[in-house]
Each structure stands twice: as structure tokens, then as C-alpha cells.
Chain A
Amino acid sequence: MEQKASFISNFKRPYTRTFLFLGTVVLLSLAFQHFFERKIILNSLSSSSYKINRIITSQDQYEIPIFGASRAQGAFIPDSLGPAFFNYGIDGIRDNVILFFLEQECKKQKKTPYTLLTFELEGYTNAIGDPDSYILNCNNPEVKKLLGNEFKPYYNVPFVKYFGKYESYFKDYLNDRMMLTKYKDKGASIEKNVLTPEKFASLVETRKNTATQFRNDNVLETEFIHLFKNNPDRRFIIIIPPYHPSYFEQYLNYNEAVRFLTYLSTFKNIVVLNYSHLFYPDSCYMNTTHLNYKGAIRFNKVVKDTLQKIMSN
């Protein structure tokens, strides 16, 4: 009898300890995740995770969003455009994600009808950028759909879902606060450094040897047109930020792009602002497709004047 009791207690003790251990791990994990999401991820205004979360959750009726990829993120300075602007530009994404942003935006009840979005002269293409950006909101069915094959089963596991990504979120947070190399402002992230003439010349040389052409993804084009048509009360301002002149040296079908932009401008709720040929000195560019801070300041002055005219009409 005594032997039996000791067997049971021996059996129980390690397993109780294991369950206690696992319970503590789960609790600590959840607490850490909560703290990290609130204090780090959602406190980094220019991070892509924050922007995806913001477009889903924000109900600011006066906000004028700017959607686009890195060319939007690095070209528009919200504070210099006005107090209502927020830059949702995300590096590495393309038009399927911009469409997602637009769809989210159009679901909202807004007091201001304006939405700014950039257009790339390569046409509508698909790319989701860094999958890490979507983990915070991966339970949202539309975000999950956007992730497609990039969705990993462990994204369902709290705390573990950020395995290997904590550093990059923390880096975003630090960059937002320290602004060592980039200027940050309400979602905008703009390179402050100016490249040496030699380094820039080598980028120009590479660009001159890169053929570029306009080619729309048909499905995306249809979806965009559908969205524009279905939201007549909204005003979409499509902007093409400046490129470096070298960009056009190997551009094969610029006329096609212009034709499509002209078609878009026939919509009553669309204004197309094509600044692709607004050339600045080399010192205003980060590379042949992106402006730097110096270039962005000059560009925003131009955009602000134009936007004021459009919005006052």
C-alpha cells in the first residue's frame, strides 16, 4: 500500500511540474506578445505592420490616406501636405496590396472623400513584399488571403508566430525614434543621405542597361476599375512621383502607359497627376526611381499646391 502511494506521488510530481512549467510559459508568452505588439509594433508609425493594422482598425473620418509602395513611402511628407494626411506606403509591395488598402478604405464612413495613390509606370503587378508585415493581422481573412502561400501554420501560435521577426520590428521601432538615416513622418520614411556622385553614376549606368516596360496584370486592372466605378462618392488622386531621367532611356512603351493613364482620367472620380518627367538634380534622388529627403521636400511643395487646387474645387 505504502509502495503504491509513493509510486503515485512519484508519478504525479514531475508531471505536475511539467504542466506548471508549460502554463507559466504560455502565460509569459502571451504577456510578452501583448506588450510587444502594443509598445513596439503599434508604436512604429512607419512600419508596414502598423500600417496594415491601421488601415483595418482606424476609424479616423478626416484622414486622407496615401497608398503605394516605396515610391509613395519615400516621396510624400504628410506634415508638409496637411494635418489630415497619412502615408501608408510600404516598401516591396505592389498593386494587389494597394488594392487591399483601397478596399479597406472604401469600407469606411469618411467625411473627406480624397484618397491618394501612386501608380508605377510598370503597370499593375502583384507583390506582397515582406510577409512579416502581415503577421500581426493574419487572422483577418482578407490579410490571410493576401498572404496566400506565404502564410505559415505557426502564425496561428501566439508569441511563436513572431519567431525570428522580433528584431526587425524592434529595428523599425528604433528607426522611428532615432531617425538616424531616414526622416520619419506619419508613415513616411525618407532617406536623408545623399549618395556620392560615383555611386549614383553607377546606379544610373545600371538603369541605362535595364529595359522597362508598361504591362498591366489584367485581373488587377479589372479589379481596380471595378473599385473605382463602385465608389463614385470617393475621389481618387493617382500620382506618379518623379523618376530620374535615366529611367526612361530603356523604357520600351511609354505611350502605352500614357494611354492607360489618360483612360483612368476619363473617370469622374479620378484625377491623374503625372510627375514622372518632373526631373530634379541628381542630389535629390536616392536612386533612379526614388527621391531622397531633399527631393521629397521639393516635390511636396509642388504636390501641395496642386492638391489645394483640386480639393478647393
Chain B
Amino acid sequence: MLFNSFAFLIFFIAVTSIYFILPFRYRWSLLLFASCFFYMFFKPEYILILAFTILIDYYAGIRIAAAGSPGMKRRFLVLSLIANIGILAIFKYYNFINSNITGLANLFGFQNHIPYLKILLPIGLSFHTFQAMSYTIEVYKGNQEPERHFGIYSLYVMFYPQLVAGPIERPQNILHQFHEKKEFDYGRVQAGLRLMLLGFFKKVVIADRLAVYVDSVYGDVAHANSISVALAIVFFAFQIYFDFSGYSDIALGSARVMGYDLMKNFDRPFISRNITEFWRRWHISLSTWFNDYLFTPLVIAKRDWGKGAVVFALLITFLISGLWHGAGWTFLIYGLLHGIAVVFEFLTKKRRLKIQKTIPGVIYNPLSQLLTFTFVAFSWIFFRAESFTKVKMIFRQLFSFHVSFNLTQLSAEKGPLNLLLSFFVIFLVYYIEKLYRSRWVTAFSMIVFFLIIILGKDGTKSFIYFQF
């Protein structure tokens, strides 16, 4: 079920109303049932994959806590990790690996007879497997007591607001909340609804609007000129941010209405002055996941290498982060680019600080923000383009410096009104976010509601991060 659908609106009203009517002891079962229904709306049979990992991780968590020796603990952790990574490997990476084996085999004159799997990627697979893994890792580290209530544990993995696109929660933050009685709190409900409204605005008014232009240019790069390609690259940066942060706002908001606090996933990433800062502000739940469970253990493991350990850990972390997003070489390059940038920033930190001191802040800060944004927007070409051929085409068109003013070409054949509105909504969001933070609660709600209905794009376009 998509958040930006009328089905969800009915679902949300129904589930939230019943939630507050039901006695506390039945609420977890309502939320679990609702989450199953929400997930099964996409492709019902994939619930079995979730059930499989839930069973394994639930069992592993209890056995890890009960294990007498570190070796035994590790064994159950490995069991959980294999189950989760195994599921990811089969459903997400199998065909990618197989196609590379085929390519390699063809190169050497052999034939690859390993069959391809004709399966669709279960929605949100990377999100819920990572969340499940964080549970067993935290239990293993002793930071989290194992959850003995099977229903509550299932809810931890399946809680519908964050099931398909995060935030990737930690057990310490969310599990205890399912045991706490949540009273109806008018203030919380209002705050949650406002956040949801902001999320819908970001998705339906901004992201889906920009998608029209971006899809049009990426769909017909050959007929785009340098200006329209540049615009599409910039628009995609805004599209992906508002699409994903819009989803996160709806997730956080809908959980908040029922009294649950999910972790913050975005913190104004486009004001970042470097890539390292960008990753502290962008998809925070994933960045911290990689930091806690991959980067830090790698640095510790290779601490004898000195600075080399950090460089090594950074590159590995970002390569895997790229692959987390999608099984393809373009995603790998996307990760590598960010890895190289962060490594560069790590190695030149002192020198950059010296330069920073010599340049006034009013010049240095916006300039570094612009540079960071440009780098990120360019790296997203690899994220958005389906293949290297498309990436090459985009770069070729962009650097052909074909800048003639052809309105049809410039508006990507979607008309000047769409282009004008695309610019307008980007500027509009600045004021809407300002209004959201102000004390003008009613004005915000009213204005945003009207803007969603009047400027929103219908057609229930899926969220970009659902594919991961």
C-alpha cells in the first residue's frame, strides 16, 4: 500500500481509530495485523520471506542471550546474519552476480548455464533485513535484552509506518515503546498529522511534480539539450530528497499519532558543506547503521594500519552502501564516488581547515554548500540512469554545450507551465518548512492541505526508495 494513495488514507484512519478504542493488551495484535495487511497489499506471498527472517532472528536473539560461551553466541549471530544476508543475496543480488558471471564467461569464450531467477524484488527488503540484523547484533553486543514476546518482536520488524522504506530502527529505540501504554494525546496527534501533511506535500507536490520533468528528460536524453539535462540533474536531486524525506515524514508522523517515536532520517542535507557532513544529514538511519555495524568494526579490526584503516573502511562501507541501494554497477560507482570523496575529505581535513580560516564564512560556506550539492547531484546521475549507456548519453548531452533556447526542448515537451511550476514548488517548500516550524499551526495545516489538492500530482507514483 502506498502512503500517497486513498487506500492508505482509509487504512490509516481505520487503524488509528481502532488502536485508541482497543484496550492496551490487544493493540500489538492490531498493529501486527494492520502491518501484515499493509505489506500484503503489494505482493501477498512475500510475507513468507518476512516470516522466515522473523522466526530465525527471534530464535537467534533468545539463544544469543542464553548462550553460555562467546563461541555459542557468535554461532547464533552468524546464523541470523546468514539468514538475512542470504535472503538479500537471493532476491536482490543473485541475478546481478549471475549476469556478471555470464559476461566474464563470454569474455573468455565460455558459456554460463546457471539459470536466472524470475522473481521480483520484495518491497523494502533491504530495509527490514537491516533492521532485523541490527536486533541480533545489539543482542549479541549486550546492548539489548532479547524480546521474548514473539508478537512484539514481529511488530518490531513489521511496524507498518517504517516497514518498506525505513527509518531503519534500532531495537533500543523502538522495542520498549511497544510495551508502553500509549494514551490518546491531542498534542501528539496534531503534531503527527502535521508532519504527515508536510510529508504528503513533499511527495505529491514537489517530488512527483519534479518527476514529470526528470522522467521526460531521462526517457529521451537524445532530444534534450544541455540546459534541460542540467535542469533534470538538479531537479532529480530535489526529487529524490523530497520523495524520501516525504516518505520519512509520513512514517514518523503516522507513528507519532499513535504515540511512537521513530528516529529522524534527514536533517536538511542540502546545507551540508562537505560530503562527510552530507552523510550525517542524509538517510541518517542507514548512515548510522553502516557506521555502527560495518565502518567502526572494520576500523577496529584494521587499527594497525593507522590512517589506512579508516581509508579502507570508508571505501568498503561506501561500496557496500552503493550496493545496498541496488544490484547494479551504476549503484556501485555511486557508492565508490562518495567513498572517494569522503576519503579525500578525511585526508585533506587539516589543509581544508587552514584554507577555511583564510576565507570569510559568507563566501566559504555557500561556496562549499554549492560544491557539495553539485557533487551529490552529479553522483545521482548514476543512481537515476538505468545503465552506463544512459550515463554516457547524459554526460555527452550535458557537455555538448548545446544551449539554444528552444521552449519545447527546454520544457522537455511537458509544456512551460510544468517547468514554471517545478521551479515554483522548490521555492515554495522553503516557506512551507518555515511555516511548519512556526507557531502558526492552523495556517500551516490549511495552506498545505490546499496546496496538496491544487498543486499535487495524482497517479499515485511509487516512492523511489521502495525499490530497495
Show the binding face of A for B, using Cβ within 8 Å: 14, 17, 21, 24-25, 28-29, 32, 152-154, 159-160, 162-167, 170-171, 174
B186, B415, B418, B459: which contacts A164 (Cβ < 8 A)? B459
User: Would you call A165 and B186 a contact (CB within 8 A)?
Assistant: no
Interface presence of B455 (CB below 8 A): yes
Docked-complex contact B415 and A171, CB < 8 angstroms: yes
| CA–CA, A51 and B391, complex, Å | 45
With a cutoff of 8 Å between Cβ atoms, the chain A residues found around residue B449 in the complex are 25
Q: Answer yes or no: B453 CB below 8 A from chain A CBs.
A: yes
Known: A14-B186, A163-B456. A28 touches B450 (CB 8 A): yes
Beyond A17-B442, A21-B446, A163-B452, list 11 extra A-B contacts (CB 8 Å). Answer: A14-B186, A14-B190, A25-B446, A25-B449, A28-B446, A28-B450, A32-B450, A152-B6, A154-B6, A159-B453, A164-B459
Q: Are A171 and B417 in contact (CB under 8 A)?
A: yes
| B421 interface contact, C-beta 8 A | yes
Contact of B417 with A167 in the complex, beta carbons under 8 Å:
yes
A162 touches B446 (CB 8 A): no
Bound-state CA distance A28–B450 (Å) is 9
A28 to B186, CA, bound (A): 25
CB of A174 within 8 A of CB of B417, answer yes
Shortest C-beta distance, A191 to chain B (Å), equals 13
Residues of A near B445 (CB, < 8 A) are 21
* Chain A residues touching B, majority SS: helix
- A160–B186 Cα distance when bound, in Å, is 26
A14–B190 alpha-carbon span in the complex (Å): 10
Nearest-neighbor residue (CB-CB) of A152 within chain B = B6
Evaluate contact between A24 and B446: CB separation under 8 angstroms: yes
CB atoms of B417 and A162 under 8 A apart = no
How far apart are the CA atoms of A165 and B453 in the complex, in Å?
9
Please provide the 4 A-B residue pairs with the shortest distance between their CB atoms, ordered closest to farther.
A164-B458, A14-B186, A166-B454, A163-B453
Per the bound structure, the CA–CA distance linking A153 and B9 in Å amounts to 13
Residues in chain B near residue A28, CB distance under 8 A:
446, 450
User: How far in angstroms is the closest Cβ of chain A from B408?
Assistant: 9
Shortest beta-carbon distance from A254 to chain B in Å:
34
Interface residue? B325 (CB, 8 A): no
Give CA–CA (A153, B442) in the complex, Å.
28
Chain B contacts for A163, CB-based, 8 A? 452-453, 456, 458
Q: Which residue of chain A has the shortest Cβ distance to B442 in the bound complex?
A: A21
B422-460 near A? 1/0 per residue, CB < 8 Å: 000000000000000000001001100110111111110
Contact of A165 among B190, B446, B458 (CB under 8 A): B458
Q: List 9 A-B contacts (CB under 8 A).
A: A17-B442, A21-B445, A25-B449, A29-B450, A32-B454, A162-B453, A163-B452, A164-B456, A164-B458
Residues in A whose Cβ lies below 8 Å from that of B418? 167
Nearest-CB residue, chain A, relative to B187: A14
Q: How far is the CA of A40 from the CA of B12 in the complex (A)?
A: 34
Q: Which residues of A contact B455 (CB under 8 A)?
A: 166-167
Q: In chain B, what residue has the closest Cβ to A20?
A: B442
B456 CB contacts on chain A under 8 angstroms: 163-164
Closest CB of chain A to B461's CB: distance in Å?
11
